[in-house]
């Protein structure tokens, strides 16, 4: 077999030389003119090689580049360089769509099985475009990849290009049906999750989904009334300023990490990361590790955090402090749930997200965020526990809609004027599963140990001490 080769831009399968040149996709040609292989250059420096003779693939790593996730063609377009981005399942499909659309960017995942990983690697770049067109193969793996990747983004910006006559974009090109391919793209509709069922078999499957007992709260009476924290539900905790809602959230976060193996996302917009970690460790240590005279070292804090989480990259702290762009926050929560597999998200507090806004703008923004969060909870099946301040009338500050869309509302009160360390919990809006509302217990907060004790138990302990 000849060992003399050239590397050329060779038109093939309906793809022109100009398109190949744009994507820097060259073909290895034998000295007798036979195309042998075609190489697809990735931004990482690696080349995915398609053997045109044996119809298989391999990765070429001559320069020692690490095989990283990411999109083919990503480096040919700058962020936000157009309104739309089209993502295909194969490199030849990306070239085919780019040639037919005559607009970009068009990129490809490495395979259907790596689609989520590849899109996560370039998530910020993809989100710089107004619409995301998913054009994966018309087969079971392609449809699975479409569903999985669609979950990474707000459904309002995801469009599904559904192939009907042929399996993928390049098949249309090879059959000379460029216009049909173009029409498919233009007729793409917003991707919608499969939420409608109609058959008896689907009804039977739905009946098998029994309500589950969730992760127990660290508050006995509240746990008795709610059956715990379940995914697919949102819990709103309301309190006036200074009552102790952040300490309550720390206790719930500690409980989730202790009682489950699930990943947890913690978004505390008024608390620096260092303080957050020390307060969380303080619950485990039974000491106020966040105070400057606590005597607790950073090494002890880290040991407590490691013992609590059990594994690296299980607890995810959002690094922003103060108000943020609502869309950035929503994208961050979606990223934590889909890409980082967080089953529980804690948000303290929702009002802080729009603290830079006033009046009607604040209300509209909070209405929008609350609605989007509730939709996301149901779509992605995670548990959301969020905090909102209330005014003197007990109404959620900035927007009353926050309390209306949440599955359950828990009001936290404490007599601040007397310096009481007793907090009262009341379920003012019952969760739809159980339907129990009313007083959910009074608990004594020990500022030293960072722990809560039911008031009844605390009173009993005092009586025992007096008797002794």
pLDDT tens-place string over residues 318-357: 866 555 678 888 989 999 999 999 999 999 988 888 765 5
- For residue 328, the model assigns a pLDDT of 83
Mark whether 31 and 114 lie in a shared domain: yes
> Six-digit token pair at 448?
């030293």
**215 lies in some domain:** no
Mark whether 16 and 98 lie in a shared domain: yes
d(CA 248, CA 413): 11
Q: What mean pLDDT do residues 84-94 have? A: 96
- For residue 457, the model assigns a pLDDT of 52
Domain boundary pick from 194, 212, 237: 194
Burial category of 4 from C-beta neighbours within 10 Å (exposed 0-12, middle 13-18, buried 19 and up): exposed
Length of the chain: 468
Mark whether 320 and 456 lie in a shared domain: yes
**306 lies in some domain:** yes
Q: What mean pLDDT do residues 77-103 have? A: 94
Mark whether 185 and 232 lie in a shared domain: no
Q: How do strand 315-317 and strand 263-268 relate by DSSP bridges? A: parallel
Kindly state the percentage of the chain with pLDDT values over 90.
Answer: 63
**152 lies in some domain:** yes
Show the domain range for 86: 1-194
Mark whether 226 and 190 lie in a shared domain: no
Q: Please say if the pLDDT value at position 168 is more than 70.
A: yes
- For residue 94, the model assigns a pLDDT of 97
pLDDT-derived band at 361, boundaries 50, 70, 90: confident
Q: Please say if the pLDDT value at position 91 is more than 70.
A: yes
SS (H, E, C) the chain: CCCCEEEECCCECCECHHHHHHCCCEEEEECCCCEEEEEEECCCCCEEEEECCCCCEEEECCCCCCCCCCCECHHHCCCCCCCEEEEECCHHHHHHHHHHHCCCCEEECCCCCCHHHHHHHCHHHHCCCCEEEEECCCCHHHHHHHHHHHCCCCHHHEEECCCCCCCCHHHHHHCCCHHHHHHHHHCCEECCCCCCCCCHHHHHHHHCCCCCCCECCCCHHHHHHHCCECCCCEEEEEECCCCCHHHHHHHHHHHHHHHCCCEEEEEECCCCHHHHHHHHHHHHHCCCCCCCCCCCCHHHHHHHHHHHHCCCCCEEECCCCCCCCHHHHHHHHHHHHHCCCEEEEEEECHHHHHCCCCHHHHHHHHHHHHHHHHHHHHHHCCEEEEEEEECCCCCECCCCHHHHHCCEEEEEEECCCCCCCEEEEEEEECCCCCCCCEEEEEEEEECCCCEEEEHHHHHHHHHHHHHC
Alpha-carbon separation of residue 187 from 105, 163, 296, 355 (angstroms): 18, 11, 62, 40
**314 lies in some domain:** yes
> Six-digit token pair at 216?
């127990």
- For residue 62, the model assigns a pLDDT of 64
Q: Please say if the pLDDT value at position 358 is more than 70.
A: no
Mark whether 165 and 44 lie in a shared domain: yes
The per-residue pLDDT for range 267-290, each reduced to its tens digit, is 998 888 999 999 999 999 999 999
Domain boundary pick from 194, 229, 252: 194
More reliable by pLDDT, 61 or 355 = 61
Q: What mean pLDDT do residues 437-450 have? A: 93
d(CA 122, CA 332): 14
pLDDT-derived band at 117, boundaries 50, 70, 90: very high
d(CA 116, CA 32): 41
Q: What mean pLDDT do residues 396-418 have? A: 89
Mark whether 149 and 265 lie in a shared domain: no
Mark whether 241 and 294 lie in a shared domain: yes
d(CA 88, CA 108): 5
Q: Please say if the pLDDT value at position 391 is more than 90.
A: no
Q: Please say if the pLDDT value at position 465 is more than 50.
A: no
- For residue 262, the model assigns a pLDDT of 96
User: Are 351 and 398 within 8 A, CB to CB?
Assistant: yes
Mark whether 418 and 272 lie in a shared domain: yes
Query: How many structural domains compose the chain?
Result: 2
- For residue 204, the model assigns a pLDDT of 82
Mark whether 134 and 36 lie in a shared domain: yes
Q: What mean pLDDT do residues 15-31 have? A: 93
**135 lies in some domain:** yes
CATH of the domain at 332: 3.40.50.300
Q: Please say if the pLDDT value at position 411 is more than 90.
A: yes
CATH of the domain at 160: 3.40.1360.10
- For residue 324, the model assigns a pLDDT of 61
Mark whether 283 and 390 lie in a shared domain: yes
- For residue 195, the model assigns a pLDDT of 61
Q: How many CB atoms lie within 10 A of CB 193?
A: 12
pLDDT-derived band at 162, boundaries 50, 70, 90: very high
- For residue 399, the model assigns a pLDDT of 84
**330 lies in some domain:** yes
The per-residue pLDDT for range 284-329, each reduced to its tens digit, is 999 999 999 999 999 999 999 999 999 999 999 986 655 567 888 8
User: Are 252 and 217 within 8 A, CB to CB?
Assistant: yes
**274 lies in some domain:** yes
Domain boundary pick from 194, 209, 234: 194
Q: Please say if the pLDDT value at position 63 is more than 70.
A: no
pTM value is 0.76
| pLDDT, averaged across the chain | 88
- For residue 454, the model assigns a pLDDT of 93
- For residue 463, the model assigns a pLDDT of 32
Mark whether 256 and 144 lie in a shared domain: no
- For residue 460, the model assigns a pLDDT of 39
**447 lies in some domain:** yes
């Amino acid at each position: 077999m000849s060992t003399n080769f050239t590397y050329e831009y060779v038109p093939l399968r309906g793809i022109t030389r100009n398109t190949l040149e744009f994507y820097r996709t060259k073909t290895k040609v034998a000295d007798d003119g036979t195309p042998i292989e075609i190489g697809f250059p990735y931004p990482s420096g690696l080349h995915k090689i398609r053997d045109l003779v044996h119809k298989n693939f391999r990765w070429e790593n001559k320069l020692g580049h690490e095989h990283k996730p990411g999109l083919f063609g990503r480096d040919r377009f700058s962020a936000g360089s157009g309104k739309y981005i089209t993502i295909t399942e194969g490199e030849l499909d990306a070239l085919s769509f780019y040639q037919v659309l005559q607009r970009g960017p068009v990129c490809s995942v490495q395979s259907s099985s790596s689609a989520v990983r590849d899109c996560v690697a370039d998530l910020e770049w993809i989100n710089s475009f107004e619409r995301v067109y998913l054009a994966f193969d018309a087969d079971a793996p392609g449809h699975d990849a479409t569903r999985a990747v669609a979950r990474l983004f707000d459904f309002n910006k995801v469009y599904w290009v559904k192939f009907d006559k042929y399996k993928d974009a390049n098949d249309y090109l090879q059959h000379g049906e460029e216009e049909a391919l173009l029409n498919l793209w233009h007729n793409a509709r917003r991707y919608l999750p499969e939420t409608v069922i109609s058959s008896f078999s689907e009804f039977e499957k739905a009946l098998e989904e029994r309500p589950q007992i969730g992760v127990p709260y660290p508050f006995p009476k509240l746990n008795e009334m709610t059956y715990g924290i379940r995914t697919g539900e949102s819990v709103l905790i309301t309190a006036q300023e200074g009552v102790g809602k952040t300490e309550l959230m720390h206790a719930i976060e500690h409980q989730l990490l202790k009682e489950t193996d699930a990943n947890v996302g913690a978004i505390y917009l008024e608390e620096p990361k260092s303080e957050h970690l020390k307060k969380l460790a303080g619950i485990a240590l039974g000491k106020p590790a966040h105070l400057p005279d606590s005597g607790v070292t950073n090494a002890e804090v880290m040991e407590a955090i490691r013992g609590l989480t059990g594994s690296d990259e299980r607890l995810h702290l959002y690094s922003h402090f103060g108000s943020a762009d609502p869309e950035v926050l929503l994208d961050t929560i979606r990223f934590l749930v889909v890409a980082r597999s967080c089953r529980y998200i804690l948000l303290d507090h929702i009002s802080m997200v729009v603290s830079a806004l006033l009046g009607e703008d604040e209300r509209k923004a909070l209405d929008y965020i609350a609605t989007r969060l509730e939709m996301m909870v149901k779509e992605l099946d995670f548990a959301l526990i969020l905090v909102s301040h209330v005014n003197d009338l007990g109404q959620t500050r900035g927007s009353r809609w926050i309390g209306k869309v949440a599955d359950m509302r828990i009001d936290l009160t404490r007599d601040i004027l007397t310096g009481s360390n007793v907090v009262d919990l009341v379920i003012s809006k019952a969760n739809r599963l159980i339907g129990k509302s009313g007083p959910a217990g009074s608990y004594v907060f020990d500022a030293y140990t960072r722990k809560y004790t039911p008031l009844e138990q605390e009173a009993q302990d005092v009586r025992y001490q007096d008797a002794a």
